[in-house]
Structure 1
Amino acid sequence: MLLTPRTRPPLPKAPRRIRRALIASAASAASVCLIAASAPAPAPLGIGDRLFPHLGNPGYDVMAYDLAFTYPGSNTKPLPTVTTIAARTTEWLEQVNLDYSSGRVRSVEVNGAAAKYRGAGEDLVVTPATPLPPGSRMRITVRHDSDPVPEEDVKSGWVRTRDGLAMANQADAAHRVFPGNDHPSDKAMFTVRITAPNGYTAVANGLPVAVARRAATTTWAYRTAHPMATELAQVSIGRSSVLRRSGPGGLPVRDVVPAKDREQLEPWLEKTPDQIAWMERKVGRYPFETYGLLVAEARTGFELETQTLSLFERELFTRPEYPKWYVESIMVHELAHQWFGDSVTPRTWSDLWLNEGHATWYEALYAEETADRPLEKRMRAAYRASDTWRAAGGPPAAPKAPDSAEGMSIFRPNVYDGSALVLYALRQEIGRPAFERLERTWVNAHRDDTATTADFQRLASAVAGRDLSGFFKAWLYGEKTPPMPGHPDWRSAAPAEQGARSAR
């Protein structure tokens, strides 16, 4: 994810910006219909993520989601939805907690039998007719409304565009769109069906598998070929054009844009195949079945790496003050996430630096190689600001908790240029050939899986042929920025000094 600037593009030396938050609704659980209200109140659960302790649920592993949305022709009305979850239990379950907090629940079934359900915080707690033993398969079907809550109230994960809807679920908003296990550690396959009035086009992650046209509506079905975290789900509904082209090796590339803007946006969209080829030269083959840009006519405040179909604000490509090199580097940032974050997914949110640090790294490297924007100059500027970023947001691999209910406030400068700076220091420490070998090995070894900071440290040590634990402890967890290998003259300004400089 990356912020869209509002007034002017940032200079390479500027610190990264804080994302606008998707605000959680403390009262949203009230929209879940309650059954057996006289029974003891169930408790919301979580898997203990340090930054989002309420996300995820113990006791089961989701294998697949089947989401069926019916768009009513208005982006202010709830979408009748059927969410079906195929999962495997990992322990005895008398109750099953799902993350879900926005939208009326109409009914729940477990393995075809009606189940009781109640709301608990931001959980939907389901009680099957009989307890579920460990190792058993369960199929949970929830009929509910998926509610695009007005932005002035709360962002639900749905983004209202001028002519429809798109999704932006990062970091903790997928459970405001559909019930599930809303934590990146539990990746699953997705099938998405969208029914909309004729005249609209619906697109989702993955490849199309069916289109059914009726007198007044059309239903599109899409399926992923690789597992996906809930925060990376994407559905676009609008009066859109779908533009298709081929990428490296015949990769299907499809872009979804407002129909009226297809000619204006084409000069940008046609760059994607070459950008994919550039990334493949750096880290190996593209990891998914398709790629493309979803250009939304909406003011989100960010760009987002939803899997196989990255979300971009239209104005990034239409405002003349954004230099060509800057727009292209942002396109590469979201593309790089398909390897770093989407294919190799963080096991905890504290591992976020592995996503954003790498995406920022390749964004900056692309700008250096294609637009003569020196990487070293940008890293030296980041080094000057690094102590300030660490004081404000925590070290890269131990970021501070989100501010209040603003989950997206974890996206601070320390996980962007501050984390790219760690990668620069690592390249300085082990040398360019070993660093490039590490990058390729990392995305290949953990493809379609989750990984941690400890995994990266172990692999880096193995590739370098020596123990790098001291290096990583200082660079990833230290309150102060360590000396930069090869640049003993670099200095990081004290937080107060940096703040005074920024104010001028």
Structure 2
Amino acid sequence: MLLTSRRLRAALLAAASATLVAATVPAPAPPVALGIGDPLFPHLGNPGYDVRKYDISFTYSGSNSKPLDAVTKIDAVATERLDRVNLDFSRGTVESVEVNGGRAAFATAGEDLVVTPEEPVHEGWPLRITVRHTSDPSPKEGPDGGWVRTRDGLAMANQADAAHRVFPCNDHPADKAFFTFRVTVPKGMTAVANGLSVGEAEKAAGGGATRAFRTTHPMATELAQVSVGRSTVVRRQGPNGLPLRDVVPTADRARLEPWLKKTPGQIEWMERQVGRYPLETYGLLVADAETGFELETQTLSLFERALFTRSELPAWYVESIMVHELAHQWFGDSVSPRSWSDLWLNEGHATWYEAKYAEDHAKRPLEARMRQAYTQSDAWRAQGGPPAAPRSPAPGKKISLFRPVVYDGSALVLYALRQEIGKDAFGQLERRWVSEHRDTSATTGDFTHLASEIAGRDLSAFFKEWLYGKKTPAMPGHPDWRTEGAGKSAGKSAGKPAGK
């Protein structure tokens, strides 16, 4: 085709203009890992959206060393304009991502999956993300939380920062959400997850089945639990008709029953301390694995099989550890920490009720345990920082965050508070704390403010010393108590920091 001179000049001008515009458009910025600025885990969590629901499907092949096929669906609301959306995810292969029904580009940066939707998502808009991916239970770099391989399957241990090693998420307890899990397993295997079973099992290929579970209370990602194995589910009823279910290796069903049947009475005891159980169900998941800890995964606490089968462990001790994880359902699960520096609220309270249960049921005096903790407290603070300002965990050893100062060292703060304000006010504080902050994430400041309100006076000076001081203050009512100093006993706890 021939062009007239006028058309030719116009075409040349248009081409020159397009070249100029193209030359001035900046290249897209490279994806970067983000975070919400947690003092201990600065790259954990992501800004710009609030997750409301997760719907996560796993397909287990029968081998706990092979990646699981998975689909993670996230329903969220944008809290600012988002040209990109960061998710925490680091152990799996991503096949595809959709945002609000459209295909989205994705890349990785650090431990983030960075998603670029076709169009920006504006503040207040729904944000629906679907990620098709694998979930790897056997990372080459070694275990650091996430999937735990058991003798016959898998379980989860995501605390503190490992949920994103299992599924894409906003991996911080400040953003709690509702969860639905759909787990497909081969014939002869049992699947369980947090919350209540939803409907009947659906048949899957090869004679397997898909089971669905849903939480009726919001949950932090670090408390997620999915387990597959050759297990038996034991059901019974707790106080006020609470449905209880324990998940145990089938071969150990009879051997474990003397321990499992203690749970209803332990719940009744906890309810007398702080009020009605706050969640939809409870039970023990007994895993045939060596973890070195127990874990308060919401509604289904994870326990090592060895805790119940080692003959050298006294019964009172095993029961107190069971109560430690049970107490977490109020302190840490129902009321979650807003930041990881608030961890003392979780572990201090769980240790407190662990010790108090041992006093009530095994004549193990709480005051004697607290006096021993006081002796060691300066050493614990020197090692791990004060209770509400703990030192960061060692690189590559995130579990090192769980030092003695967050267990007995933090229970000691609660003992000092009870000494300061009296038993009646302390009991009122405990009940109001779990009632007024139920299903939320709360801060140390929230707790100290409520304590001052109930005491009828400003306790800020008291808490400043006890929660943030390098040295342990004098114990109210016990002027004769002394610490050993920072050079001794730093590695020992007055109790057992095995229950996270």
Which residue of structure 2 lines up, in the alignment, with residue 129 of structure 1?
Answer: 118
How many residue pairs are counted as aligned between the two chains?
Answer: 465
Which residue of structure 2 lines up, in the alignment, with residue 14 of structure 1?
Answer: none
1:389 to 2:380 alignment: yes
Residue 44 of structure 1 aligns with an amino acid whose one-letter code is A
Q: For structure 2, which runs of at least 5 residues remain unmatched after alignment?
A: 1-26, 494-500
Shift of 1:217: 1.4
Which residue of structure 1 lines up, in the alignment, with residue 156 of structure 2?
Answer: 167
Structure 1 residues 171-182: aligned runs within 5 Å:
171-182=160-171
SS at match of 1:220: strand
Deviation by residue 1:427-457 (Cα, 9 ceiling, x = unmatched): 0000000000000000000000010000000
Match of residue 213, structure 1, among 191, 198, 203? 203
Q: Which 10-residue stretch deviates more, 149-158 or 276-285?
A: 149-158
Which residue of structure 2 lines up, in the alignment, with residue 139 of structure 1?
Answer: 128
Structure 1 residues 328-367: aligned runs within 5 Å:
328-367=319-358
Partners of 1:72 and 1:87 in 2: CA distance: 30
Structure 1 residues 367-382: aligned runs within 5 Å:
367-382=358-373
Contact 2:145 2:159 in 1 (8 A): no
Q: Which 10-residue stretch deviates more, 245-254 or 493-502?
A: 493-502
Partners of 1:151 and 1:162 in 2: CA distance: 19
Q: Which 10-residue stretch deviates more, 143-152 or 478-487?
A: 143-152
Shift of 1:198: 0.9
Partners of 1:179 and 1:277 in 2: CA distance: 37
Shift of 1:153: 2.0
Partners of 2:385 and 2:307 in 1: CA distance: 30
Match of residue 120, structure 1, among 87, 101, 109? 109
Q: 1:500 to 1:158 in 2, by over 3 A?
A: closer
Match of residue 258, structure 1, among 244, 249, 256? 249
SS at match of 2:483: coil
Partners of 1:437 and 1:199 in 2: CA distance: 49
Q: Which 10-residue stretch deviates more, 232-241 or 205-214?
A: 205-214
SS at match of 1:387: helix
Partners of 2:492 and 2:61 in 1: CA distance: 52
Deviation by residue 1:225-278 (Cα, 9 ceiling, x = unmatched): 000000000001000000000000110000000000000000000000000000
Shift of 1:397: 0.1
Partners of 2:342 and 2:149 in 1: CA distance: 30
Partners of 2:101 and 2:287 in 1: CA distance: 38
Partners of 1:256 and 1:91 in 2: CA distance: 42
Contact 2:105 2:115 in 1 (8 A): yes
Deviation by residue 1:211-236 (Cα, 9 ceiling, x = unmatched): 11245210000000000000000001
Partners of 2:147 and 2:197 in 1: CA distance: 21
Q: 1:471 to 1:500 in 2, by over 3 A?
A: closer
Deviation by residue 1:383-405 (Cα, 9 ceiling, x = unmatched): 00000000000000000011112
Contact 2:61 2:185 in 1 (8 A): yes
Residue 244 of structure 2 aligns with an amino acid whose one-letter code is V
Partners of 1:497 and 1:404 in 2: CA distance: 25
Q: Which 10-residue stretch deviates more, 287-296 or 148-157?
A: 148-157
Shift of 1:40: 4.4
Please provide the CA RMSD for this pair.
1.4
Partners of 2:177 and 2:390 in 1: CA distance: 26
Shift of 1:494: 1.1
Q: 1:98 to 1:245 in 2, by over 3 A?
A: same
Q: Which 10-residue stretch deviates more, 151-160 or 344-353?
A: 151-160
Contact 1:147 1:156 in 2 (8 A): no
Contact 1:80 1:146 in 2 (8 A): yes
Q: For structure 1, which runs of at least 5 residues remain unmatched after alignment?
A: 1-37
SS at match of 1:287: coil
Contact 2:383 2:490 in 1 (8 A): no
Which residue of structure 1 lines up, in the alignment, with residue 50 of structure 2?
Answer: 61
Which residue of structure 2 lines up, in the alignment, with residue 317 of structure 1?
Answer: 308
Contact 1:380 1:490 in 2 (8 A): yes
Structure 1 residues 95-114: aligned runs within 5 Å:
95-114=84-103
Contact 1:76 1:150 in 2 (8 A): no
Structure 1 residues 217-296: aligned runs within 5 Å:
217-296=208-287
1:409 to 2:400 alignment: yes
Q: 1:278 to 1:109 in 2, by over 3 A?
A: same
Which residue of structure 2 lines up, in the alignment, with residue 435 of structure 1?
Answer: 426
SS at match of 2:461: helix
Partners of 1:464 and 1:194 in 2: CA distance: 49
Give the percent of matched residue pairs that are identical in Structure 1 and Structure 2: 70
Residue 121 of structure 1 aligns with an amino acid whose one-letter code is G
Partners of 1:500 and 1:303 in 2: CA distance: 19
Shift of 1:70: 0.2
Partners of 1:499 and 1:153 in 2: CA distance: 28
1:187 to 2:156 alignment: no
Contact 1:149 1:156 in 2 (8 A): no
SS at match of 1:50: coil
Which residue of structure 1 lines up, in the alignment, with residue 293 of structure 2?
Answer: 302
Residue 189 of structure 1 aligns with an amino acid whose one-letter code is F
Q: 1:323 to 1:42 in 2, by over 3 A?
A: same
Deviation by residue 1:96-155 (Cα, 9 ceiling, x = unmatched): 000000110000000111000000000000000000100000110000000002587233
1:463 to 2:450 alignment: no
Residue 160 of structure 2 aligns with an amino acid whose one-letter code is A
Contact 1:293 1:311 in 2 (8 A): yes
Partners of 2:461 and 2:145 in 1: CA distance: 42
Deviation by residue 1:145-178 (Cα, 9 ceiling, x = unmatched): 0000258723350000000000000001000000
Residue 216 of structure 1 aligns with an amino acid whose one-letter code is G
SS at match of 1:191: strand
TM-score (norm 2): 0.91
SS at match of 2:51: strand
SS at match of 1:302: coil
Q: Which 10-residue stretch deviates more, 402-411 or 323-332?
A: 402-411
Which residue of structure 1 lines up, in the alignment, with residue 498 of structure 2?
Answer: none
Contact 1:194 1:220 in 2 (8 A): yes
Residue 429 of structure 1 aligns with an amino acid whose one-letter code is E
Partners of 1:450 and 1:222 in 2: CA distance: 23
Contact 1:202 1:235 in 2 (8 A): yes
Which residue of structure 1 lines up, in the alignment, with residue 413 of structure 2?
Answer: 422
TM-score (norm 1): 0.91
Partners of 2:428 and 2:248 in 1: CA distance: 37
Which residue of structure 2 lines up, in the alignment, with residue 32 of structure 1?
Answer: none
SS at match of 1:118: strand
Partners of 1:496 and 1:449 in 2: CA distance: 39
Residue 218 of structure 1 aligns with an amino acid whose one-letter code is A
